[in-house]
Structure formats: structure tokens, C-alpha cells
Amino acid sequence: MQIGSRLIKNTGLVFVSGITTKLFSFFFIAYAARVLGPGDFGLYALIGTITFLFSYFGNLGITPMAIREISKNKHKAHELFNHIISLRLALVMVSYPLLVLAVNLLGYREDVKGLIYIAGLSAILGTFSHSLGILYIAFERFKIPSLVSIVVSFLGNATNILVLYLGYGLKGIIWVALLESLLGAVVSGLWVRMRFLKYRLAFHSLVWNDLMSQALPFAILSFFQQAIMQINTILLSKLPGLFPGEIAIGYYNPAASLCKAALMLPDSLRQAALPTIASNAENLEMVKGIIDKSTHVLLIMIIFPLILITTFFPKEIITIVFGKEYLPSAPALTIMGWAYAFQVFNTPVNVALAATREIKKFIPWVILLFGINILFAVPLILYYSFTGAAIAFLVTKVIETIFRNYLLRTIWGIKRLEIGKLVKIIFPMTIIFVVLLFAYLGSLSSFRLFILTLVLYVVFLCFMKDIRQRFVAFIDKFRRRSYL
């Protein structure tokens, strides 16, 4: 199978898995928001944020490094993986006391601390399960992990909804997550040993030192990248503002979680493209082609719709998904929509940077971005609460886009997009946005504005040559199959 076809197939598998799991999570989040209310829903987001950051100590950049190295050295996969899974488990278990210390230093309530401790144990078990997925990704075998992800997501979210329905609340969700993580670790561990590779725990100081030295740039980058994504939640929990911390998070999280749904296709592309770019890093034309084509697709299929929806329909989206109780989140949703549009735009560059050994050059820049986010977030949260946090996140993402495109030129020697190609996409997008803005300011009803938005977007797609050609090819292929 050609590289392009394989990349499209793998991206499709991961995307279908991602959109399915996100759909299951969507139903759970929408139900949980109504049952828990802004206060407990904010606590749930806070626990998830702290646990998510803790889980990165069990990774420390090892996953992308491992995918890159195993993709390049498949004949050494067995030996490499034995050390990789052992190293990850050692790191996450050693880091657990740091989680306990950090939670106590932050001064949260005793009941919140207990729930975070339990969630931390789930993260340790999850580290083992996720480590097994490295093998499938490195060998570009995405079918099995995609199917497993769908099944696990369905069972997990269905169980969580049942737990809330039975009245066990936030504590029930956290305890069930621990049981699910334990079951997932056992099942996935046995499956990989029987079907893929008979791994075993291994320790060799020289190998571990080499792995850590290669993973360290990824570790620093991944930590600060995720810290930028998550730190505002922690700041909202501790800084005084217009709303109590738990309520502020309860209003901030709906906007963030909705916009994160736009990352499904970019995340699928990132997982599928990393081993491809890593194993073909010497072919700059191929790398540039992947970046160009993926940027075009993301602009047309994700970024533009995300901007339109969050700009013109924030109240309607919040009301439908979370209920009228969360309507204060609407302005934050608009701001976060633009912020995540920049996040999506950066995805192809992120993949290219992760596939090179020169990734360490980005470390000072990502630390600077983290400082910029803090610099803006603290005063804005004090004055504008969760809306200020959203503004700080947007400013950070704009600056991040400039930095990453600069690094793409300096490390890979690749220019992101030619002006001519960019204008062909941005110009009609701008015209449509201006037309909709005038209609929105003219007090057009939400229903009519939605119809107008849908019509203009379809017309926009028809004028895009690549989309039109793909659609015609799909119809032609479908007809030929029907004749057979």
C-alpha cells in the first residue's frame, strides 16, 4: 500500500474511533452536567485536570519518542518495548507520592483529595494499558486499538451514566473509573501477549538512560503543552474572582470540552502521520506534501466550521448540550472556539516537529508560551473569571502559531503555505464570515441564520477544487461498485 493511501486509511481508522468515543463521552458529559450541577461538575473537571497532568509523569515524552524509534527500528521492537513499558510504569509509580504532595500543598478539601488519590491510581493502571498501544501505532496497525477504544468508551460512559442515574454522584464515577482501569489493564495485557508480542519487564541502566535522554525533549514539551491547556483550570480553582472556584471551573469546562471535540480529526492525523513522517524524514517533499494537504483539509473541514459555530451559535449550543443553567459559558465558548481553531491549525506542524531529533530547539519557546499564558491568565481571571481564562488561552495560541511556523522553517526548512494557495481558501472564508456577521447583527433569527450558514458553507465546499474532485471520485467509485 502506498504511503499516501496508508496514511489516509490509518487517519480514517483513528478518526472513526475518535469520533465514536467522543460521541459516547458527549452523552455522558451532557448528562453529568445536568445531574451534578456547575459545582460538582467543576470538581469533576478539576480532578480530571490534575490527574491528567500527573499521568504525564508516567510518560515524560516517552510515547512519541517510542513510536518514532520503533517505527525506524522495527527489528528491535521487542527489546525496545520491554524497556519502554518498564520505564513508564516505574516513572508513574514513583511520581504518585508527588501527586499526593502537590494536592496537599494546593490545600483542597479532604474529600476532594481522596478522590484525586483514587483517580491517580486509575492513571497508573491506564499508563500500562496505553503503553501497549505504542506497538500498534509504531507498526501502523490501527484497526485493533481503534476497535478496542470504541468498545471501552461505550462501556465506560454507559456505566458512568448508570452510576449517576442510581444516585452515586461524583464519588461513584471516580470509583468506577478505577475498576474500569484495572479491568482494562488485565484484558489489554493478556491480549497483547497472546496476539502481538510476549513482552516482559526489563531493566538496564544504559538503555533507560538512553531512552530518557531521547525522551527528555518530548517530556518537557508535552508537559508544558498540556500545562498550557490545563493550567487555567487550576488557576480558576485557587484565584479569587467573580465566581467561586468550583463554579468558575463549572462554567469554563463546558466551553473547553465542546471545543476539544474539534480535535478529533487533528488528533487522528497526528497519530497516523507521526510514524509515517518519522520513517520517511529524509524525504522533505513528502513531508511538505503531508503538511500542505493536511493544512488545507483542516482549514476547510474543521477550522472554518468551528469558527462559524462558536461565533454565531454559542448560546444555542450551550443550551442544547448543557442546559440553560450553563448559559454564562456562551462568551467563553466563542473565545475558546477561535483559540482551538489555532490549535487545530498547528497540528501538522506539531507532527513534523515531533518526528525530528531537533525537537529540543522548541523547548525554550514552549516554556515562554507557558509563562505568557500565566502572565495573561492571572489578571484576567481576577477581573473576568472564566472568560478571562479563555482570553488568555486565545492569546497564547495566537503567539504559539507564530512560534511553531518559525520553527518549521528553521528545523525542517519548510515554508507552511504559499500565499497564493492560502488566499484561495482564506478569501472566500472571510467573505462568508462577513456576510454572516451582518446577518447576525441584523437580528436574524437563529434558525434562519443557521440555514444561511449551512447553505454558504456548502457553496464554499463546492468551490474547493480538492473537495469537489474527492466527492466526484467517491460517487464514481460508488457507482462502479453498485454495477458490480
* Residue count (the chain): 484
Q: Can you give the pLDDT at residue 125?
A: 81
Q: Which residue has the cell 515554508?
A: 415
Position 310 scores a pLDDT of 94
List Cβ neighbours of 93 (8 Å cut-off, separation of 6 or more).
124
Least confident of 210-214, 239-243, 284-288, 477-481: 477-481
Question: Which one of 83-92, 206-215, 389-398 scores highest in mean pLDDT?
Answer: 389-398
**474 exposure class (CB count in 10 Å sphere: 0-12, 13-18, 19+):** exposed
Under 8 Å between Cβ of 200 and 82: yes
Highest mean pLDDT range out of 137-146, 270-279, 305-314?
Answer: 305-314
CB 266 within 8 A of CB 342: no
Largest CA distance in the chain: 69
The whole-chain average pLDDT of the chain stands at 78
pLDDT at 388: 93
C-alpha cell at 315: 448560546
Q: Which helix (H) or strand (E) holds 99?
A: helix 77-106
- Nearest alpha carbon to residue 155 among 292, 25, 258, 309: 25
Question: What DSSP letter does each residue of 143-194 carry, written as one string?
Answer: HHHHHHHHHHHHHHHHHHHHHHHTT-HHHHHHHHHHHHHHHHHHHHHHHHHH
Distance CA 311, CA 436 (A): 10
CB atoms within 10 A of CB 362: 25
Helix axes 304-312, 314-322, angle to 10 degrees: 80
In 3D, which of 226, 178, 224, 235 has the Cα closest to residue 46? 235
pLDDT band with cut points at 50, 70 and 90 for residue 478: very low
Amino acid at 423: V
C-alpha 392/C-alpha 373 separation (Å) is 6
Given a cut of 60, whether residue 11 has pLDDT beyond it is: no
For residue 28, what is the enclosing H or E element?
Answer: helix 3-55
Query: Helix, strand, coil shares of the chain as percentages rounded to 5?
Result: 90, 0, 10
* Contact (CB, 8 A) for 337 and 309: yes
Looking at the predicted structure, is the pLDDT value of residue 331 above 90? yes
Asked whether 333 and 299 are in contact (CB, 8 A), the reply is no
Taking only the tens place, the pLDDT of each residue in 131-172 is: 666 666 666 665 666 676 777 778 888 888 898 888 888 888
Convert the pLDDT of each residue in 333-381 to its tens digit. Answer: 999 999 999 988 888 777 777 666 666 777 788 889 899 999 999 999 9
Which has more confidence, 454 or 409?
Answer: 454
Single pTM value for the model: 0.71
In 10 A of CB 360, how many CB atoms?
A: 13
End-to-end CA distance of the chain: 24
Q: Is the pLDDT of residue 482 over 50?
A: no
Higher pLDDT pick, 14 / 292: 292
Burial class (CB in 10 A: 0-12, 13-18, 19+), 445: exposed
Distance CA 362, CA 186 (A): 38
Tens digits of residue pLDDT in 421-469? 667 788 888 999 999 999 988 878 888 999 999 999 888 888 776 655 5
Phi-psi region of 247 (alpha: psi -120 to 50; beta: other; left: phi over 0): alpha
